[in-house]
Amino acid sequence: MSEVLFFGVLSVHTNTCTAEYNCELHKKTDSFELKMYNQDTFTIILSKLNESEYYTIKETQSIRVDYSSFIVILSELLKRVQRNELFIEIGSTLKIIERNTFRNILHLELPLKNLTQAEYKLYISDILSKLNRKTSSLERENSILKEELSSSRKSNEELMSRYREEIEKREKDNYQIKREAHDLDTQLIRIKKESAEYSSEIERLKKEKQVLEDDLRKANDIIKRNFEDIKSKIKTETLLKEEARNYKTEKEEIELINNKLEMEIMEKNEEIKILKEMESERIEAINNLKVLNKSLNRKLESTYRIYNRIYKKQEDVEDDSKTEETTSSLISPESINY
């Protein structure tokens, strides 16, 4: 069983020239095989190692990986050669080298196998067989490609015919479009002119709008101030109404008190009038009593004189004492109260 780990074309340097070789790296059950061949010169380069042979070159070249890892790394080295990061030099051995400004670094050196005539013929036969298979495959592909080319040409002719018709149609459409474009240009000129007029009108309207906005702002300020004044007046009016209601209430209370006082005054005036009348009657009564008292005093004096003439002197003295007591016991008219 063989597994292909690498397949590609590599540039190989020999003592005489540099040539391109087809390179194949095969991993087999008990070995690996690196085969390169040039189809122009039928040159075959072969390096083949089994696991025990690998450990021999591992020791001599100070390689640090085991056999299975080595085959993978060899595949990566060949890929680097393909990218021109490394190069292969063929002499008595196959060398994979890295170019350096100071000195070339040798990454790996593999022994080459000298082919016998039979092995060479076998490999050539294998290569020719592969080439024949490849040629047959290419011929089949070529036949298929010819059929595809013929079909493509036929399709291309049909497409060209459709394209010509389409081009003619497009040319007519293009002519129509040009006419429409000319009309559109005319309309565009007219629209640009109208746009310029509209722009002027818009600028004028913007200025008018700015003026109106300024006026509106001023009007809003005035309205705001008036609103504040109205609010203040309404507040003042509310306060005045409240005070008026209070004044009205106070007035009603005062009127009630005043009416009450007037009634009291009227009552007092009536009382005073009555008292004045009573005082007038009292004075009149006093005056009458005074007159009566004077009359009684005169009568008493007259009676006293008569009594003195009638009774004796001693009795007169006793009578005088009694008279004084009687006189002092009389009520004075001024002391009478009504």
- Token code pair at residue 265: 């005054």
Residue 316's pLDDT is what? Answer: 60
With a CB cutoff of 8 Å and minimum separation 6, the contacts of 285 are 336, 338
pLDDT of residue 313: 64
Domain ranges in the chain are 3-114, 136-246
| pLDDT of the chain, 338 residues: tens digit per residue | 679 999 999 999 988 889 999 999 999 988 999 999 998 888 899 999 999 999 999 999 999 999 999 999 999 999 999 999 999 999 999 999 999 888 999 999 999 998 888 777 888 887 778 778 878 888 888 888 888 888 888 887 888 888 888 888 888 888 888 888 888 888 888 888 888 887 888 888 888 888 878 878 886 887 688 778 768 877 887 887 888 788 788 888 878 888 888 898 888 888 888 988 898 888 888 888 989 888 898 888 888 888 777 876 666 666 666 665 555 555 555 555 54
The pLDDT of residue 122: 81
d(CA 89, CA 215) in angstroms, rounded, equals: 96
Q: Which residues pair with 9 in a beta bridge?
A: 22
Task: Determine contact, residues 28/2, Cβ cutoff 8 Å.
Answer: yes
pLDDT at site 223: 63
Q: Give the DSSP per-residue string, 160-228.
A: HHHHHHHHHHHHHHHHHHHHHHHHHHHHHHHHHHHHHHHHHHHHHHHHHHHHHHHHHHHHHHHHHHHHH
Q: Are strands 2-13 and 31-38 parallel, antiparallel or unpaired?
A: unpaired
pLDDT at 328: 54
Q: Give the per-residue pLDDT at 219.
A: 65
Distance CA 95, CA 21 (A): 15
Could you give phi then psi for residue 130, rounded to 5 degrees? -65, -40
Residue 243 tokens, joined: 């005070």
| Residue 249: per-residue pLDDT | 87
Q: Please, what's the b/e burial string for 15-29 (b: 16 or more CB within 10 A of its CB; e: otherwise)?
A: eeeebebebbbbbee
Rounded to two decimals, what is the model's pTM?
Answer: 0.42
Coil, helix or strand at residue 22 = strand
Query: Would you tell me the crossing angle of helices 313-329 and 117-310 to the nearest 10 degrees?
Result: 160
3-114 belongs to which CATH class?
mainly beta
Compute how many other C-beta atoms are within 10 angstroms of the C-beta atom of residue 57.
Answer: 16
Query: Collapsing DSSP states into helix, strand and coil, what is residue 278?
Result: helix
